[in-house]
Amino acid sequence: MTAILVKCPHCNSENVQKAGKQPNGAQRYRCNNKECTYTIFQLEYKYNACKPDIKMKIILMAMNGSGIRDTARVLGISTDTWCIC
């Protein structure tokens, strides 16, 4: 059995523990670093629109006047994506 080293994607701390699972089965982790502003995170996402960098791009494109279809085409996600992650 091999151990997977998990680091917090926000502060790169190795002080991480498992924190249950999402309804879709994805493992959640908790960062125990006191200085880290994010406590719960996932390593892998089922839907591309739930990834933190894609969510920020969606927000920026919406603020710049891009429509739903344009945003979906550019980012490679579905137009009917509704993700509460």
Bridge partners (DSSP) of residue 8 are none
Q: What is the pLDDT of residues 18-50, one digit of tens each?
A: 999 988 888 999 999 888 887 888 887 777 777
| 65 within 8 A of 36, measured Cβ to Cβ | no
Q: Are residues 10 and 30 in the same domain?
A: yes
Q: Are residues 60 and 37 in the same domain?
A: no
Q: Are residues 35 and 58 in the same domain?
A: no
Q: Are residues 56 and 33 in the same domain?
A: no
Number of domains in the chain: 2
Q: Are residues 6 and 40 in the same domain?
A: yes
Lateral strand order in the sheet of 27-31: 16-21, 27-31, 40-42
Q: Quote the CA–CA distance of 34 and 11 in Å, as a whole number.
A: 10
Structural domain for 35, as ranges: 1-44
Tokens representing residue 34 in the block: 């006191």
Q: Quote the CA–CA distance of 21 and 69 in Å, as a whole number.
A: 32
Residue at which a domain ends, from 29, 44, 59:
44
Global pTM reads 0.61
